Amino acid sequence: MDRSDLFARYDEELRTADYADVDASPNGLQVGSDEGTVEHVAFAVDAAVSTIEDAIDVGADVLVTHHGLIWGGLDRVTGREFERIAPLVRNDLSLYVSHLPLDGHQELGNAAGVADVLGLEAREPFGAMGPEHIGQRGVLSEPTSVADLTADLDDALDTGGRGVQLVDAGPAEVESVAVVTGSGVDWLDEAVDVGADLLVTGEGKQKIYHEAQEAGVNVVLAGHYATETFGVQSLQSLAEEWGLETTYIDEPTGL
């Protein structure tokens, strides 16, 4: 397959262009060339020296990640930026990135993956980011103990031993659940507005404890990395359907 064809397929599926004005990450091809062919694609949550080296070691032509190397511009390529970008260029390894588009995709995205774990039904977009959404909400088939849901996430997610945290601030049994993966506690007010009993996200901020108590909404902090493995794994499955060899590089951060 031509690299340009692979990138175009992902861009179309993920609606990459629609997120251009709301995402600090330049999504799509971030480093490298769209010329030439691709036979082997590596996938990782984070673009870092270690994951880039692993992709090179397995002979990948393209590395697809959720978190890329550029955020809001790049002034110069020195220091850490050079150490990350130089191996990509030297080894003709193209870096394709999908940040918010992969959070918000309602079938392939990170929030959709968490919703699958929880068995949410009647799903709708959640987590407004300008005109787009970066999360998902839904309802459980029956009211369920928030403690049981927390335990289910702890069992299912790759938390790197960190464990899932519960801010126990709402009803003991929940039915309506909102999900924004990664760093999503800023969407607590939207969760309140839609009547959610529980907001599931990755990492928290100090203020969320009191805000959740005052709002009467439970908040689960399941880990930034742990809640954001689903999207790249979905893109890996697509690449395999398209006849490409793939490798998933798992490097849980415990954060």
Domain membership of residue 32 as a residue range: 3-99+229-247
Same domain, 201 and 108: yes
Same domain, 112 and 161: yes
Establish if 253 belongs to a structural domain: no
Question: Which alpha helices (DSSP H) does the chain contain, by range?
Answer: 3-14, 49-57, 79-90, 100-104, 110-118, 146-156, 188-193, 208-215, 230-241
Which domain CATH number covers 167?
Answer: 3.40.1390.30
The answer to the question of whether 99 is labelled as a binding residue is no
pTM (predicted TM-score): 0.96
The tally of domains found in the chain comes to 2
Establish if 136 belongs to a structural domain: yes
Same domain, 85 and 127: no
Same domain, 163 and 93: no
The answer to the question of whether 40 is labelled as a binding residue is no
Establish if 125 belongs to a structural domain: yes
pLDDT tens series, the chain, 255 aa: 999 999 999 999 999 999 999 999 999 999 999 999 999 999 999 999 999 999 999 999 999 999 999 998 888 899 999 999 999 999 999 999 999 999 999 999 999 999 999 999 999 999 999 999 999 999 999 999 999 999 999 999 988 888 899 999 999 999 999 999 999 999 999 999 999 999 999 999 999 999 999 999 999 999 999 999 999 999 999 999 999 999 999 999 989
Same domain, 128 and 220: yes
As given in the structure block, the two tokens for residue 59 are: 């002979």
The answer to the question of whether 175 is labelled as a binding residue is no
Same domain, 49 and 32: yes
Same domain, 143 and 189: yes
Same domain, 89 and 116: no
The answer to the question of whether 158 is labelled as a binding residue is no
Same domain, 93 and 191: no
Say if CB 198 and CB 177 are below 8 A apart: yes
The answer to the question of whether 67 is labelled as a binding residue is yes
Say if CB 134 and CB 24 are below 8 A apart: no
**Per-residue pLDDT tens for 185-236?**
999 999 999 999 999 999 999 999 999 999 999 999 999 999 999 999 999 9
